[in-house]
Chain A
């Protein structure tokens, strides 16, 4: 009995010593630096340019701050530079490296704290990343233990570095909150919302297509009136606003098999959101056919996502697109030229149908990207994966006709 007690005590001591000598993954909160945004650009040769944006908690707790006009300091290192974006609540580090983990290690040279990515809010890919770069980065980022699958992903119109460095939110003290609200809330109808997990799921499939919101920096000057598309909708960076915050989310970038197919403006992004029912309602403004200066607005209510029916009996395939939408005129009086409200609604109906048809032709014939996942609904008719792959859906899709029926 006594021996048993001694043995037990010895065992407990050894176990305790083993357990206590490690505390292997214990990290104090104040010894950790949290990345809130990550930008990946293509560098020279096989290198990539990584932009890490860290949160500065003391500045965040102090209420953020106004703009800082300082341009920051540039180090003399060829590979790394630290730039101050003017946003005092963040700390930016730009590293050029062949690999993400190399870049992360190099970042440790500048930071005293351990890097933690569990509060990463936004990943911005440069539009000129090649297929390997985009797919490879996105897949390993998804598999990273610390990164959350619902981290927002965006494609940069200029470069990811420029975008991230330009972010200086006006209404939030915490830049991470700005990213979260900006990229994942559905009140921004002119850009899709895309999470990392969804993006990787979409591009991992054979011939997989996806659409990312376009993150851009507005020009410094007021661009009202310039480069305006006929319908009054602009693509990202060509925005009619005067604001000290130059970063915006507008439009979308289309990808197929990890390669950029093209970009689309905010109007197309809005249609994408409507067809997917990513937004429940939005306001559309149409120009009067009778007078150029007349505009009128409708509230569009989206009941359900669009349904697709693929009819491959003929050549080319005919894809029927059906969607139920609610329209509500937001005016006090019927605009000039329209005799009744029904005529107005019929006009709006026809404009929407035309736009949606043009949208589909654009993404199938021009961009060749099945971002609406029509193939997924067609796939349901097949029994096995083999049968589906033999169908060669991409070819059918790229030559298909669309019949849009908006009710």
Chain B
């Protein structure tokens, strides 16, 4: 099945943004200098201001840089002037970097030292100054010659160091980022017992490296698409060339490059900007902090987006069956994996429907309750002051309060909160006659069920949607529940995620409920229409034939 008519993104014009230069959206479309930088420049007649390129006159460059970066105000900006020692003369130069973003050790050792002291013993004949400095003097590996001032400004802002030499029409930009960042740690929200314990961190290059070391495929492409007109947040779009559907890659790129916003802070912002419908109840883009899971999804033909500053990468497209998968499914035995998946699905089912079903049975379908249980419920409810619906809502909201508070509570009093919450919700509420014991059990099971969901987004979505079913159950019993199920299914069935129907299966075996052994997962998900649908031949365990 091919991807259908693609979603047409329409950007809404923001009146404030109209004042900005529209051509300042992306690197390729921006030969000049951004207007908000241009406003800072005092000398409007300079060559750099007019052309956007480096001037051969060092004084002009230094003046421009001082104005552009507002050096007087920014105390962490370092402009170091020095002289480059050539074999026969000295040439003026300066470098700029942000203290805290750049690694000063590398600057001292690999840039200043060779340029100032070592110099070039011999000058190759016929070489220009740029070539001499670039090829003979700078001992920095990630180093590039940049001629556009805007690019240099952006790179310096990201932690690079730019070296300007008098007489050169380019600057030498060294990638010597040295900011403090969290190292590769353990996954927090997707903890597994049997699988790898590495998680993504906030640095995009590190995250790309984590995926590359798993896949080791030269066809694994990582395209850089900066997002945010001012923040220029680096964003890597990863896919496997020759596997991933080209239309999917194209659509992802189209959405990412047509985002007109100033700042992007995390992958959640990107998710909200590129998804089809923000009001959709379930996530349309998966988020993971596990490199192994991201690599597996890439191998299946999906696209990954890594955003600088966020340890969660986005996997698209997402379908309903992806929401039931957990990373642990691939690291345990098949029977265990299927059992755990069944438990998970039951948990999600309970989280969504149990309160609604309980309410509908308690209000409309008394005959469904076993007689002994019914009389026990009636006896406990005799003393309750609230209607059962109100009681249920109060208990659920109390539990949500505890859940929310426990996220932010400091560790030392975290356990105390658990005890207090349990006491308040459990014993005291029942003793005071505010809640019945059965309702406490219902709410607890519902909460546990929502935690069984493999993803935090799904868990929260279930917690929100359950109120709709409570309302429908209280209004019309099982008929209301059936209507809710119908409408939810309709919404899911008619939705698409990047052209892929949301209710299509994502597993290669086309069965979202059963975890199949790896030797049976020959095909990639057909809904993604990958370029190569077969991952492995039908008989992948060739040793079996030899036995």
Asked if B475 and A29 sit within 8 Å, CB to CB, the answer is: no
Most buried by B among A36, A119, A174: A119
Q: Is A214 part of the binding interface, using a Cβ–Cβ cutoff of 8 Å?
A: no
Query: 8 Å CB contacts to A: which residues of B344-401?
Result: 362-364, 366-367, 371-372, 374-382, 384, 387-388
C-alpha spacing A25/B475, complex, angstroms: 9
Asked if A58 and B372 sit within 8 Å, CB to CB, the answer is: no
Asked if B362 and A29 sit within 8 Å, CB to CB, the answer is: yes
Q: Is B476 part of the binding interface, using a Cβ–Cβ cutoff of 8 Å?
A: yes
With A28-B381, A28-B387, A30-B384 in contact, is A119–B367 under 8 Å at CB?
yes
Asked if B367 and A118 sit within 8 Å, CB to CB, the answer is: yes
Q: Is B152 part of the binding interface, using a Cβ–Cβ cutoff of 8 Å?
A: no
Most buried by A among B367, B376, B384, B387: B367
Q: Is B474 part of the binding interface, using a Cβ–Cβ cutoff of 8 Å?
A: yes
Q: Which residues of the other chain, A, contact B379 by a CB distance below 8 angstroms?
A: 57-58, 60-62
Asked if A29 and B381 sit within 8 Å, CB to CB, the answer is: yes
B481–chain A nearest beta-carbon distance, Å:
14
Of B362, B378, B475, which one neighbours A23 at CB under 8 angstroms? B475
The 0/1 profile, CB within 8 Å of B marked 1, for residues 109-147 of chain A is 000000010110100000000000000000000000010
Q: Which residues of the other chain, B, contact A28 by a CB distance below 8 angstroms?
A: 362-363, 381, 387-388
C-alpha spacing A250/B375, complex, angstroms: 29
Asked if B372 and A27 sit within 8 Å, CB to CB, the answer is: no
Q: Which residues of the other chain, B, contact A116 by a CB distance below 8 angstroms?
A: 366
Query: 8 Å CB contacts to A: which residues of B473-516?
Result: 474-477
C-alpha spacing A177/B374, complex, angstroms: 12
Interface residues on chain B, size class: 20 to 34
- Minimum CB distance partner of A55 in chain B: B375
- Minimum CB distance partner of B376 in chain A: A61
Q: Which residues of the other chain, B, contact A146 by a CB distance below 8 angstroms?
A: 367
- Minimum CB distance partner of A20 in chain B: B475
C-alpha spacing A146/B368, complex, angstroms: 11
- Chain B binding surface SS class: helix
Most buried by B among A26, A61, A148: A26
A225–chain B nearest beta-carbon distance, Å:
40
Q: Is A167 part of the binding interface, using a Cβ–Cβ cutoff of 8 Å?
A: no
Asked if B366 and A29 sit within 8 Å, CB to CB, the answer is: yes
Q: Is A19 part of the binding interface, using a Cβ–Cβ cutoff of 8 Å?
A: yes
Asked if B476 and A19 sit within 8 Å, CB to CB, the answer is: yes
Of B371, B378, B474, B477, which one neighbours A29 at CB under 8 angstroms? B378
Asked if B375 and A57 sit within 8 Å, CB to CB, the answer is: yes
Q: Is A34 part of the binding interface, using a Cβ–Cβ cutoff of 8 Å?
A: yes
Query: 8 Å CB contacts to B: which residues of A12-47?
Result: 19-20, 23, 25-30, 32, 34, 36
Q: Which residues of the other chain, A, contact B387 by a CB distance below 8 angstroms?
A: 28
Asked if B367 and A148 sit within 8 Å, CB to CB, the answer is: yes
The 0/1 profile, CB within 8 Å of B marked 1, for residues 42-75 of chain A is 0000000000000101101110000000000000
C-alpha spacing A34/B369, complex, angstroms: 12
Asked if B366 and A26 sit within 8 Å, CB to CB, the answer is: no
Asked if A29 and B374 sit within 8 Å, CB to CB, the answer is: yes
Asked if B364 and A34 sit within 8 Å, CB to CB, the answer is: no
Q: Is A156 part of the binding interface, using a Cβ–Cβ cutoff of 8 Å?
A: no
- Minimum CB distance partner of B362 in chain A: A29
Asked if B364 and A26 sit within 8 Å, CB to CB, the answer is: yes
- Minimum CB distance partner of A119 in chain B: B371
B255–chain A nearest beta-carbon distance, Å:
24
Asked if A61 and B366 sit within 8 Å, CB to CB, the answer is: no
Q: Is A269 part of the binding interface, using a Cβ–Cβ cutoff of 8 Å?
A: no
C-alpha spacing A62/B378, complex, angstroms: 12
Q: Which residues of the other chain, A, contact B384 by a CB distance below 8 angstroms?
A: 30
Most buried by B among A23, A30, A119, A174: A30
Q: Which residues of the other chain, B, contact A80 by a CB distance below 8 angstroms?
A: none
C-alpha spacing A28/B371, complex, angstroms: 15
- Minimum CB distance partner of A27 in chain B: B363
Asked if B375 and A60 sit within 8 Å, CB to CB, the answer is: yes
Q: Which residues of the other chain, A, contact B380 by a CB distance below 8 angstroms?
A: 61
A155–chain B nearest beta-carbon distance, Å:
23
C-alpha spacing A26/B478, complex, angstroms: 12
C-alpha spacing A119/B375, complex, angstroms: 10
With A19-B475, A19-B476, A58-B382 in contact, is A27–B375 under 8 Å at CB?
no
Q: Is A176 part of the binding interface, using a Cβ–Cβ cutoff of 8 Å?
A: yes
A33–chain B nearest beta-carbon distance, Å:
9
C-alpha spacing A28/B388, complex, angstroms: 7
Of A27, A30, A34, A118, which one neighbours B382 at CB under 8 angstroms? A30
Most buried by B among A27, A36, A60, A148: A60
Of B364, B371, B382, which one neighbours A174 at CB under 8 angstroms? B371
Q: Which residues of the other chain, A, contact B475 by a CB distance below 8 angstroms?
A: 19-20, 23
A209–chain B nearest beta-carbon distance, Å:
31
C-alpha spacing A19/B475, complex, angstroms: 7
B59–chain A nearest beta-carbon distance, Å:
59
Q: Which residues of the other chain, B, contact A34 by a CB distance below 8 angstroms?
A: 366, 371, 374-375, 378
Asked if A25 and B364 sit within 8 Å, CB to CB, the answer is: yes
Asked if A26 and B474 sit within 8 Å, CB to CB, the answer is: yes
Q: Which residues of the other chain, B, contact A177 by a CB distance below 8 angstroms?
A: 371-372
B391–chain A nearest beta-carbon distance, Å:
11
C-alpha spacing A62/B380, complex, angstroms: 11
Q: Which residues of the other chain, B, contact A180 by a CB distance below 8 angstroms?
A: 371
C-alpha spacing A181/B309, complex, angstroms: 67
- Minimum CB distance partner of A179 in chain B: B371
C-alpha spacing A143/B387, complex, angstroms: 32
C-alpha spacing A63/B269, complex, angstroms: 59
Asked if B382 and A57 sit within 8 Å, CB to CB, the answer is: yes
Q: Which residues of the other chain, A, contact B477 by a CB distance below 8 angstroms?
A: 25
A279–chain B nearest beta-carbon distance, Å:
25
C-alpha spacing A36/B378, complex, angstroms: 15
- Minimum CB distance partner of B378 in chain A: A57
Asked if A174 and B474 sit within 8 Å, CB to CB, the answer is: no
With A25-B364, A118-B366 in contact, is A30–B372 under 8 Å at CB?
no
- Minimum CB distance partner of B364 in chain A: A25
Q: Which residues of the other chain, B, contact A27 by a CB distance below 8 angstroms?
A: 363-364, 366
Asked if A119 and B374 sit within 8 Å, CB to CB, the answer is: yes
Q: Which residues of the other chain, B, contact A25 by a CB distance below 8 angstroms?
A: 364, 477
Query: 8 Å CB contacts to A: which residues of B278-319?
Result: none
Q: Could you pull out 12 A-B pairs where Cβ atoms are within 8 angstroms?
A: A25-B364, A26-B363, A27-B363, A27-B366, A28-B363, A29-B362, A29-B374, A57-B378, A61-B375, A119-B367, A176-B372, A180-B371
Q: A29-B366, A60-B379 are in contact. List 10 more A-B contacts (CB 8 A).
A: A25-B477, A28-B387, A32-B366, A34-B374, A57-B376, A58-B379, A60-B376, A62-B379, A119-B366, A174-B372
Residues of B within 8 A of A (CB): 362-364, 366-367, 371-372, 374-382, 384, 387-388, 474-477
Q: Which 10 A-B pairs have the closest CB atoms?
A: A61-B379, A118-B367, A57-B378, A30-B381, A57-B379, A57-B375, A26-B363, A60-B375, A119-B371, A176-B371
